[in-house]
Structure 1
Amino acid sequence: MQPMPWPEPAPEVAAAIRAIYRGKRQVPLPVRVRDELGEVFADAAFAGAFGKEGRPGWSPGRLALITVLQRVDNLTDRQAAEAVATDLTWKYALGLSLDDPGFDASVLSEFRSRVIAHELEEKPLDLLLSALQERGLLAAGGKQRTDSTHVISAVRDVNRVELAGECVRAALEALAVAAPGWVRQVLEVPGWADRYELRADSWRMPTSKSKQEELARVYGADGYALLEAVYAPFSPAWLRHLPAVDTLRIMLIQHYVRSTDRRGRQVIKRRQDLNQGGEGLPPGRYRLASPYDLDTRWAAKGSELMWNGYKVHISETCHRGANTHDIVAEAGGTDLVTGSDTRLPNLITNVATTDATVPDTAMTEVIHQHLARRGLLPAEHYLDAGYSSAELIVQARELHQMALITPLRSDNSVQARTRNGYDRTAFTIDWEHRQVTCPQGQTSTSWTPCRQKQQPMIVAAFPLSTCRPCPVRALCTSAQRSGRHLTLHPRAIQETLDTARAEQTTPAWHDQYALRCGIEATIHQAATVTGLRRARYRGIKKVHLQHVVSAIAVNLIRLNAWWNGHPLERKRTSHLAQLEPALAA
């Protein structure tokens, strides 16, 4: 592939587009994107994923645009390839002639594989955001908001018994393809084929618990027997490195225990939870959920949602009731539509994909680093409580000069929960002299730095001789053998925590924080239009590429509406609600 500029739209295609979309008919998205952004995905940005010699290939930049347009209309690869050959608006955007036959649908799959293999998943979004920054539509500062949602994997959900059987079956299939001669020599093919010919979803699992347990033991015994044959001295060493064989080995370690009874016989049984007196299962973040997608994981959110898959975090710009001139001036850009009341669209600035078990707090700083790399760090970042902690608020302020607008979890001490006693706020901390003064004027006698849950903490203690005769002791502590103990964070974190907890109880803070809820509409749009909540591919890298392309598609849809003169929609008001002011008058 030799990087080349995109050709201009063919004259006959451009003439047809002008004839069709003249007058009041709205210009379609592919045409508007080409007119406004031009060669947004340059070939040179993807050159590293392609060779410099051999048969010429399709332009990777134009394939990137096709992949985005494919998500705009939620098309399959075959449908997208057909649109390239037959849709005039796509030909205009790609600079193709009227008689260009397009390409085979497999080209799109090959392009995605090359992008992932060379770790260019973020490149299309980087190119779009850079182009928007050059045009003054995006800039650092301002306000952004972030939230996450679940993503269901592209593999079938299986229970533990089905997982064991499918792991053995997947390993047998891989060995039968890679070394059919070895399989015929080592295994009794008819017997194994009878048990593992069909996938687990093509027959009914026994309903009896005892029969399910017996089937699980059979799968475990077969799995160990197969691994012993693969690792035997007479077997080729390269068989051990087949991915399906390694997956089988991991599954057996995670779900089975092999021991020897008093008679010297081998006993294979499934692992049980620790609370059931068993050996224990590995944590969910490490446990395989499918032999066909090793990155997917089971997770739960409260008692309402449980899914097998991933999680996607979306960040976008947000504005509060300002016109375009005010917003662009605030962002430090150029007002492109001076005098217009049309507001700039909210644009997605970052997408992060994790497996379903990763907590939101682990992604807060990662998201900030991605935004910093793109030069799009906001001045205010609106997050829900899942992303927040006092430590992260301090870190964002010190490293990025950014304010995190986010609720912090309330004080969970007994006094704070019951609202009947002296909680932390009733005590005065003297950080310089390392003392704490209680509401009765008594001071602590010890100040002990320590670590709790791998975090630095401070424990300030009052002596028993002071607390025992105190007339309000019942409001302060229930300890009988010691005085009151107060656990504190380091000064910067504790002061941030106290200030944030006090502020988030005020109406002004709630009015400000209301700006965060708009991210829910963005997630809904991405899920409805691009199918964001269902993975189309297997593996976290492929799923992340899907999410990046979906984010670009949402951005282009919003930009297209803005370019065509449609303002950012305010809250919808029903016709019935509109009658209320008239009736009041």
Structure 2
Amino acid sequence: MSLHAAPLAEIPTRTAELVRIILPKGNTITQLRDCFGAVYSDDQFRSLYPTRGQPAYAPWRLALVTIFQFLEHLSDRQAAEHVRTRLDWKYALALELEDLGFHYSVLSEFRARLVAADQGEMLFNTFLQACRDHHLLKPGRQRTDSTHVLARMRMLNRLELIGETLRVALDDLATVIPETLCQVIPAAWWARYGRRVEEGSLPHSEPSRSELAQTIGEDGFFLMTSLLNDTALNPLLDRPALAMLRQVWLQQFQRELSGLGVTQIKLRAQEDTPPAESRRCTPHEAEARASIKRHTRWQGYKVHFTECCDEAGPRLITHVKTTTATQPDVQVNDTIQTELIARALRPETHLVNAGYLSGDGLVESQARGIDLVGPLRESSSWQSRTADAFDLSAFVIQWEQRQVTCPAGQVSTMWSERSLSWTRRPAVQVKFSASSCRNCSLQSRCTRAKSGVRTLGFPDRVTFEFSGHPNHRNTDAGRHRLPAFTGFTTAQLVFSPTIQILRPSLCRT
């Protein structure tokens, strides 16, 4: 298809007259058209289409249909049906009453063009700019929260994962070297990997499942070895499906050399597999990860929504960031603020929940001219959860003397500063002498370390004092406290039509 851009059409007279009769006060769709106009133009999408070919359906209309579709939670079939039958949609799209619209598959093709051209956020950014032009965007006070996004797959157990990974690799090789593959793989593989590997077709007894896992592991290593030993086939190992096979086999299997010089293949123990942030959970989506947050378990991604929340203005989503499911919220806060500033949407006050808040984040936000507001995280130490135990608040920090005094009056003997690997900011580690701790009558309320010696860790002075740390009251410096904020859920983001309109597709960018 090719794009033959045309000037934006005026709303047909008959369509406008009938809408005014049936909807004299209008509705959300007609009001959006009256307030914002067409919003999009064909010229914005010129790079998505070739210069020759059958004329494409007007992309500015498809963009508006996509917005309306998300506004009303419609499938592609339903959205295409609404274009044919809804008067308010015909009004917004400037269509004649007799217009039959388009086939529903045009919508998925349009979204695919956006993603392929890395223009997934074009619709969102253009609509946001329209709100700015109409003075509806007031970014002074904004808030951020995250929710989970499911991958386009069902959850796989370990046996399904390894079996399906090998099947996908074989299917990929069958498209490039079908004849060679038939000569390399044993005939039994056709029955074993000929169809999708699912739990219903797997054995139920534990010995049989272990035997099948052993067989799949050996088959995978046999395939990779066969490709590795043939120089003409070596480049195939770099194909995504084969790269996934290597990664999954490295994470799920181990090879041991027996006393007879025979290599044995064993499925790794669950505790011996890599952590969730690097462990593959499906061969169909390389970036999907398994994660857990409180009572929610999922495989997929995490999306962070930021919206302006000034009482005088509408609630408009200003930023969307999709990350891996295992990335902590606190690591995304810097990116969100940086991108908001780059788009001239710097918040004066940025409201977050405890997952986004850290002492480093408070300092960096202040340097950007942003007040980061949220609840401080509760300490996870056993001392903070025990009524008569001594947590960090029971110790007095003398920054100038580089020492700490414990509740028993003992002074620390070691003070060291180091940079945390993930924040690159300094932190302090303090240690008391073994003799004073082991002979102390308060030891049981202070430490459970096997060595019997209490150690403390806390951020550098600037971060510690600025963050209003709960343990800051006993330091020899001033105080800074944050306003209370209880946090909010993603469900609370969706309470006005405007937010639904601005919600972008959750495609990975």
Q: 2:329 aligned with 1:364, yes or no?
A: no
Deviations 1:222-243 (A, max 9, x none): 2222223334427545543443
Deviations 1:430-460 (A, max 9, x none): 5455455667888767643234666522345
Cα drift, residue 519 of structure 1: 4.7
**1:286 match: secondary structure:** coil
Cα drift, residue 210 of structure 1: 0.9
2:211 match: 214
> What amino acid sits opposite 1:20 in the alignment?
I
Cα drift, residue 105 of structure 1: 2.8
**2:172 match: secondary structure:** helix
Cα drift, residue 159 of structure 1: 0.6
> What amino acid sits opposite 1:409 in the alignment?
R
Cα drift, residue 376 of structure 1: 1.9
Instruction: Provide the TM-score with structure 1 as the length reference.
Output: 0.74
Q: 2:488 aligned with 1:517, yes or no?
A: yes
1:544 match: 506
Deviations 1:69-104 (A, max 9, x none): 222232222332333334332222122333434333
Q: What pairs up with 1:547-562 in 2 under 5 angstroms?
A: none
Q: What pairs up with 1:50-61 in 2 under 5 angstroms?
A: 50-61=49-60
* 8 A contact 2:465–2:472 mirrored in 1: no
1:573 match: none
Q: Aligned partners of 1:180, 1:418: CA distance in 2, in Å? A: 66
* 8 A contact 2:468–2:482 mirrored in 1: no
Cα drift, residue 543 of structure 1: 6.6
Q: Aligned partners of 2:439, 2:252: CA distance in 1, in Å? A: 57
Q: Are residues 222 and 38 of structure 1, via their aligned partners in 2, closer, same or farther at CA, if it must alter by over 3 Å? A: same
Q: 2:72 aligned with 1:79, yes or no?
A: no
Q: 2:310 aligned with 1:293, yes or no?
A: no
Q: Aligned partners of 2:212, 2:292: CA distance in 1, in Å? A: 28
Cα drift, residue 136 of structure 1: 1.4
* Structure showing the higher helix proportion among its residues: 1
Structure 1 unmatched ranges of 5 or more: 275-279, 328-343, 504-508, 533-541, 549-585
> What amino acid sits opposite 1:59 in the alignment?
A
Q: 2:390 aligned with 1:392, yes or no?
A: no
Q: Aligned partners of 1:202, 1:445: CA distance in 2, in Å? A: 59
Q: Aligned partners of 1:376, 1:452: CA distance in 2, in Å? A: 30
Q: What pairs up with 1:91-490 in 2 under 5 angstroms?
A: 91-141=90-140, 143-189=141-187, 191-201=188-198, 203-233=200-230, 235-236=232-233, 239-274=236-271, 280-302=272-294, 304-319=295-310, 327=312, 344-398=313-367, 400-411=368-379, 416-420=384-388, 423-425=391-393, 428-432=396-400, 434=402, 447-451=415-419, 455-459=425-429, 487-490=457-460
Q: Aligned partners of 1:10, 1:225: CA distance in 2, in Å? A: 67
2:462 match: 492
Q: Aligned partners of 2:231, 2:453: CA distance in 1, in Å? A: 71
* 8 A contact 1:390–1:408 mirrored in 2: no
Cα drift, residue 364 of structure 1: 1.1
> What amino acid sits opposite 1:16 in the alignment?
L
Q: Are residues 172 and 419 of structure 1, via their aligned partners in 2, closer, same or farther at CA, if it must alter by over 3 Å? A: same
Superposition RMSD in Å: 3.7
Q: Aligned partners of 1:85, 1:482: CA distance in 2, in Å? A: 77
* 8 A contact 1:463–1:482 mirrored in 2: no
Q: Aligned partners of 1:77, 1:479: CA distance in 2, in Å? A: 60
Deviations 1:5-39 (A, max 9, x none): 421212222122112112xxx52332222111113
* 8 A contact 1:41–1:64 mirrored in 2: yes
Cα drift, residue 203 of structure 1: 3.4
Q: Are residues 523 and 387 of structure 1, via their aligned partners in 2, closer, same or farther at CA, if it must alter by over 3 Å? A: farther
> What amino acid sits opposite 2:128 in the alignment?
L
Q: Are residues 317 and 441 of structure 1, via their aligned partners in 2, closer, same or farther at CA, if it must alter by over 3 Å? A: same
**1:287 match: secondary structure:** coil
Q: Aligned partners of 2:374, 2:184: CA distance in 1, in Å? A: 61
> What amino acid sits opposite 1:308 in the alignment?
Q
* 8 A contact 1:81–1:102 mirrored in 2: yes
**1:200 match: secondary structure:** coil
Percent identity over paired residues: 35
Q: Are residues 285 and 478 of structure 1, via their aligned partners in 2, closer, same or farther at CA, if it must alter by over 3 Å? A: closer
Corresponding pairs, count? 496
* 8 A contact 2:403–2:415 mirrored in 1: yes
Deviations 1:511-566 (A, max 9, x none): 8524x43654226999x989x9xxxxxxxxx97339x9xxxxxxxxxxxxxxxxxx
Q: Are residues 346 and 502 of structure 1, via their aligned partners in 2, closer, same or farther at CA, if it must alter by over 3 Å? A: farther
Cα drift, residue 42 of structure 1: 3.2
Q: Aligned partners of 1:294, 1:456: CA distance in 2, in Å? A: 35
Cα drift, residue 255 of structure 1: 1.1
Q: Are residues 500 and 140 of structure 1, via their aligned partners in 2, closer, same or farther at CA, if it must alter by over 3 Å? A: farther
* 8 A contact 2:38–2:92 mirrored in 1: no
* 8 A contact 1:229–1:235 mirrored in 2: no
Instruction: Provide the TM-score with structure 2 as the length reference.
Output: 0.84
Q: Aligned partners of 2:243, 2:446: CA distance in 1, in Å? A: 57
Q: Aligned partners of 2:316, 2:470: CA distance in 1, in Å? A: 28
Structure 2 unmatched ranges of 5 or more: 474-480
1:582 match: none
**1:386 match: secondary structure:** helix
Q: Are residues 238 and 102 of structure 1, via their aligned partners in 2, closer, same or farther at CA, if it must alter by over 3 Å? A: farther
**1:174 match: secondary structure:** helix
* 8 A contact 2:281–2:289 mirrored in 1: yes
Cα drift, residue 427 of structure 1: 5.1
Q: Are residues 62 and 215 of structure 1, via their aligned partners in 2, closer, same or farther at CA, if it must alter by over 3 Å? A: same
1:552 match: none
Deviations 1:178-209 (A, max 9, x none): 333333333345x3222222322373322211
Q: Are residues 230 and 462 of structure 1, via their aligned partners in 2, closer, same or farther at CA, if it must alter by over 3 Å? A: closer
> What amino acid sits opposite 1:292 in the alignment?
H
> What amino acid sits opposite 2:388 in the alignment?
N
